[in-house]
Amino acid sequence: MERENQFIGQSGAFLDAVERTSRAAPMRRPVLVIGERGTGKELIAERLHRLSTRWGEPLVTMNCAALPETLIEAELFGHEAGAFTGATKQRVGRFEEADKGTLFLDELGTLSMGAQERLLRAVEYGEVTRIGSSRPLRVDVRIVAATNEDLPAKAARGDFRLDLLDRLSFEVITLPPLRVREGDIGVLAEYFGRRMGAELGWEVWPGFAEHVAQELENHQWPGNVRELRNVVERAVYRWDNWDTPIGHVQFDPFDSPWKPAAPPLPKSQSAPAQAVPASATTGPDLDAIDDLRNAVDEHEKTIIEHALGKHRWNQRQTAKALGLSYDQLRHAIKKHGLTDDD
């Protein structure tokens, strides 16, 4: 887990989740953490452990999706020497490693039905049996599990054991996605930006240009806080002059005019309709426009600001990218009162 990360945020939805985590931490009961990728499920698990009476004992993490199905049970419960091909010596499992402490099972929804059945017994009776052994071992483990899937729906389809879900859901903490955490995007962007600036040895933190701050607010953040951190840190390290506010961010690091083209589909197959990213469709509220000329001017200003930031205020490159002459771009800059401080 990333110890350098902290809980940063001020929105009500975020603070409610943190407060519920703090209340559940002293309990010995299992906790299920639900959230989209990048929302901080690992940090919640760590907080549950650090604020519990088990804080001095091991916090053991296992990503259930990172192992093939044939190895998951051996990782969870251990095995005896000779239990299967390749098992040359005895190995303790994650349950034994986490004895007296906390076991964090990430991507719980990927567990096979066989592993779910054995996990149920371990949770219900506090006993695990190594593969190849007939002697059960007593363990005292607090389970924290996380997933980005709808487990009740999986259970209704028969893809997840309902009795295991009942055992693990004493408390369910659902983390809000970043796009609904009002006011937190700017706070997080400042935090990650300042931290990256300090890492690069910047003497001052210039902040973000106004149009960049607005782009960050308008983005939908499907990768949540993890994506925001990458976008901000990438923008900071690419910015050459820390005396001026950061004027450009790139949301998609793979976006390039030279990226490999996708192979053409066979003529017998029609290409599926491509979904337009939400960030690309963000624009003015058309129903709220009551001054067309002003709305057009504002939209033009936003486009020019973005292009100038992207090209680090190289006006000739910007003009070429926008299909304008140098004089036309200069006229537009003067018309909208833009400066490189913007």
Share above pLDDT 70 across residues of the chain, in percent, rounded to a whole number? 92
Percent of the chain topping pLDDT 90: 57
Contacts 24+ apart (CB under 8 A), 113-116: 113/161, 114/73, 115/64, 115/69, 115/72, 115/73, 115/76, 116/160, 116/161, 116/164
Q: Does the pLDDT value for residue 290 go beyond 80?
A: no
Q: Please compute the mean of the pLDDT values over residues 4-16 and round it to a whole number.
A: 85
pLDDT recorded at residue 267:
63
Query: Residue 282's pLDDT band (boundaries 50, 70, 90)?
Result: low
Q: Is the pLDDT of residue 151 over 80?
A: yes
For tokens 């071992």, the residue is: 137
**C-alpha to C-alpha distance for 197 and 233, rounded to whole angstroms:** 8
pLDDT recorded at residue 206? 96
Domain ranges of the chain: 12-176, 179-238, 285-336
Q: What is the mean pLDDT of residues 43-52?
A: 96
Q: Does domain 12-176 have CATH number 3.40.50.10210?
A: no
CA nearest 63: which of 108, 119, 112, 106? Answer: 106
pLDDT tens string 222-251 = 999 999 999 999 999 999 888 899 999 999
Distance of alpha carbon 66 from the chain centroid:
17
For the structural domain made of 179-238, what CATH number should be given?
1.10.8.60
pLDDT at 69: 77
Token match 């519990």: residue? 52
Query: Quick check: 2 pLDDT over 70?
Result: no
Mean pLDDT in residue range 58-74: 88
Q: What is the pLDDT of residue 284?
A: 61
Residue range 285-336 in CATH 1.10.10 = yes
Mean pLDDT of the chain: 87
Upper half-sphere CA count for residue 136 (Cβ side, 13 Å): 9
Each residue's pLDDT tens digit, 173-198? 999 999 999 999 999 999 999 999 99
pLDDT digits (tens, 9 = 90+) for 69-110: 778 888 898 888 877 777 778 888 899 999 999 999 999 999
